[in-house]
Amino acid sequence: MDGVKHIVAVASGKGGVGKSTITVNLALALAAQGYRVGVLDADIYGPSQAQMLGVKEGVRPQSAEDNKFLPLEAHGLQAMSMAFMVNTREAMVWRGPMVVGAFQQMLTQTKWDNLDFLLIDMPPGTGDIQLTLAQKVPVSGAVIVTTPQDIALLDARKGIEMFRKVNVPVLGVVENMSLYHCEKCGHEAAIFGTGGGDQIAQEYDTMVLGRLPLTLSIRELADSGRPSVVSEPDSSVSRTFADIARQVAQSVSASQSGGPTISFSE
């Protein structure tokens, strides 16, 4: 794609596992490490990146030459979403071909400006959008988001299998809501179970990129349009996202070069 070096899909087999929150914070963590990053919200029916990035309702992208759109900018990221095109208070009652057409238009008609990484916030499932992405553009890799819950792991497996069938490398798994952390008393409880991320990573010969707790602040900051990485850059959550970002960047670089990168220091 013009203006984009690497495309990374952030996906899950089911909804409700925090995939969009992971996407925006991962994008911000990559940007904090000096990369030029964009976010494409591919969830046509339920776009959420506009709110998470603090873009006000009704803001529309400007037109560019060659029948393209200029992405909006927020927190140093370039962004495109269906929420920038329509009234988000109205339901998108569209059949599959219309959804695919809208996704392709955002993907190919957005004038991305020299991005190192374009993160695509995928809709849940393994349907039209996922297949269209794999067929239309070269995807450098996929990050799978899951919770430790057995039901979530069932669907995460399907997501990994789908990307393997279309020859997209799975960079790793992010285990979200791994522990409930009470911000008042500090008590922690594994309310969704334990070991799920390790289990699926071992089963599919990939790795756990990071584990994130179930805390009130992550949800509140994302809802307010100032996600954790920009609001609390020194927090343990932001440090976890920074570590995930480093691993994603290194994995993409290694896969593009055909092997691991080696550096020497004194």
Q: Could you list the residues known to form a binding site for ATP, using ranges.
A: 13-20
Separation between Cα atoms, residue 197 and residue 171, nearest integer Å: 13
- For residue 256, the SS3 value is helix
Q: Which two tokens stand for residue 131?
A: 């297949």
Entry field: residues in the chain: 266
- In sequence order, what are the residues at sequence separation of 6 or more whose Cβ sits closer than 8 angstroms to the Cβ of residue 86? 92
CB atoms within 10 A of CB 193: 14
Give the residue ranges of the annotated binding site: 13-20
> Closest by alpha carbon to 140, among 170, 111, 115, 175?
170
Distances (CA, A) of 182 to 25, 77, 189, 212, 214: 21, 31, 9, 14, 9
- In sequence order, what are the residues at sequence separation of 6 or more whose Cβ sits closer than 8 angstroms to the Cβ of residue 131? 166
Q: Which two tokens stand for residue 44?
A: 């046509």
> Closest by alpha carbon to 107, among 119, 90, 91, 94?
119
Contact by Cβ (8 Å): 12, 155: yes
- For residue 143, the SS3 value is strand
Residue 29, exposed/middle/buried by CB under 10 A (0-12, 13-18, 19+)? buried
